[in-house]
Structure 1
Amino acid sequence: MGLRLLVGFVWLLSWLPFRVITALGWVVGSLIYALPTSRRRIGEVNLRLCLPDMGEAERARLLRRHFVAMVQMLLEYGYGWFASRERLKRLVRIEGLEHLRALDGRNVILMMPHFTGLDLAGLRVSLETPLVSIYSVQKDPWLDAFFRAKRLRFGTGIIFARQQGTRPTLRALKDGYRLYYLPDQDFGHRDSVFVPFFGVPAATIGGLSRMAAVTKAAVLPCYPRRESDGYTLVIEPALDNFPSDDIVADATRMNAVIEAQARRQLHQYFWLHKRFKSRPPGEADFYGR
């Protein structure tokens, strides 16, 4: 019952104008930031590691803005779940769509890092090209079914659970679906290499270059940029000479691209994830126990 009430509340929020959601996000996000939570501590550690030249007060302001952006993202879920196609197109504009359209007939991977707005951006781009994506199964069966239904509500894509492995995704990619792929979180040591991210060695999965090699897919970096009246999904040109035959070099290049995107809008990148949880042998844990 509690989940259904929450969904009903999100449905009510979906009727509010974008600027109202923005204002609510500022109020609620600022209040949550003021609480001494574990997520705030994780964000503080990440920003200290990644932006050591930034003053402590400036990092605190940045983290507060990030909490605001995260709450705004959560309040915007109603747009993704309930808004019409037409409203979604007004809320999320696309810059660089020509880079995607130039690859008609080719396998394509849209490399989307973890920015606020990534879910809306994925739903929006699925209105331009059929997408396949990978998702994490929810523990609650009703919630899992609800999330699946909302992600697929326009009939413009398919999704596979992470537990199914990559084979179904690769098959869909070869069948003409474009892969919407999020490669920038710490999934542990397995299938990962340690390469720099903001100058800090980070466990980075090599899935992007492996899948691109197997399917001969072009890789288009992209990211959503939150603005005063909605989002702009930025699709960048395909990476040249990617993948190479060096998975470490590919992972290093991928992280450099993501870092460049993050530096354009630091408060919109996900700082509350333990990005540096896995450490090379002999290195201490940054986050404590």
Structure 2
Amino acid sequence: GIGLVEIAMAWFTNPDRFKGMVEVFGIENLNAAKSSGKGVLLVGAHFSTLEMGGFLYPQGEIDATYRAHDNPLFDAIMYNGRMRNVEGVFNRKNIRQAMRSLKAGRVLWYAPDQDYGPRNSVYAPFFGVPAATITATSRFAKFNGSAIVFYSHYRNADNSGYHIHFSEALKGYPTGDDIEDATIINSHMETAIRRQPDQYLWLHKRFKTQAAGKSARPYNDKKLKSKS
């Protein structure tokens, strides 16, 4: 669908073509966060407009983390496409490189809304359901005192353009409690998703990993299917 068209646009076309098609909200929040010189962790979510989010980012000078694709050829295409729009693309497992980016006072895009399993995760509510949530977000913030700003991007309902949003920097974060920190992140994710829930990539199976005593395969749970 349109998401595939947008991937092609983001990886292969000139962003200047879209300058008049984008409304930006809260850019002052990003600028205020950058002024500290301690780097900004730009927290995003996996919307269907994901590739356009980097493509339309208005400030330049941004790094990003990503999950390498299992297919080496597609991974190379994806990497090169994303490198057109950002200055550095780091494998999400390369923590040192990400930390160097923040230490240099740069903006680092990072999306903690996927289920990476129980290791280095805690269970925190996400739309009222416990979800395995990685703790790296608070670790990044604590490492260099970097500000946390949420970045969300949406396609207009009539497909006429896009609107992108930068939240105010989180205050009092991290708290020192992993579950509380994860709950804060998930709550802000919910706020971003509620603006345009149809554009969120629910197919990522956010609830795949379950706590002890819960269904190990919730998406195959007969009870859940009977309610749908």
TM-score if structure 1 supplies the norm length? 0.70
Q: Which of the numbers 114, 121, 124 marks the counterpart of 2:46?
A: 114
Residue identity over aligned pairs, in percent, reads: 38
Query: Any idea what the Cα deviations from partners look like across 1:256-282, whole Å, max 9, x if unmatched?
Result: 111122122111111112111111111
Structure number having the greater helix percentage = 1
State the alpha-carbon separation in 1 of the partners of residues 73 and 145 from structure 2: 37
Paired residue secondary structure (2:9): helix
Q: 2: CA distance between counterparts of 1:184 and 1:277?
A: 12
Q: 1:200 pairs with 115, 129, 150, which one?
A: 129
Aligned pair partner of 1:235 in 163, 166, 169: 166
Structure of larger gyration radius: 1
The equivalences for 1:1-289 within 5 A come to: 71-103=1-33, 104=35, 105-125=37-57, 127-154=58-85, 156-163=86-93, 165-227=94-156, 228=158, 229-284=160-215, 285-288=217-220
- Whether the 8 Å contact between 1:79 and 1:88 is mirrored in structure 2 is no
CA distance, structure 2, for counterparts of residue 253 and residue 153 of structure 1: 32
Q: Which structure 2 segments of 5+ residues have no match?
A: 222-228
Alpha-carbon separation, structure 2, partners of 1:153 and 1:269: 24
Contact 2:22-2:164 at 8 Å conserved across structures: yes
Paired residue type of 1:254: I
Contact 2:38 2:104 in 1 (8 A): no
Q: Work out the number of aligned pairs and report it.
A: 216
Aligned residue identity for 1:84: N
Distance 2:125 2:131 in 1: 6
CA distance in 1, matches of 2:99, 2:167: 22
Query: How far did 1:226 drift?
Result: 1.2
Give the superposed CA RMSD. 1.7
Check whether the contact 1:109–1:180 (CA below 8 A) recurs between aligned residues: yes
Match of 1:187, SS state, is coil
| 3-state SS of paired residue (1:214) | helix
- For residue 114 of structure 1, report the CA deviation from its aligned partner: 1.4
Q: Which amino acid aligns with 1:92?
A: V
Letter of the 1:162 partner, please give it.
R
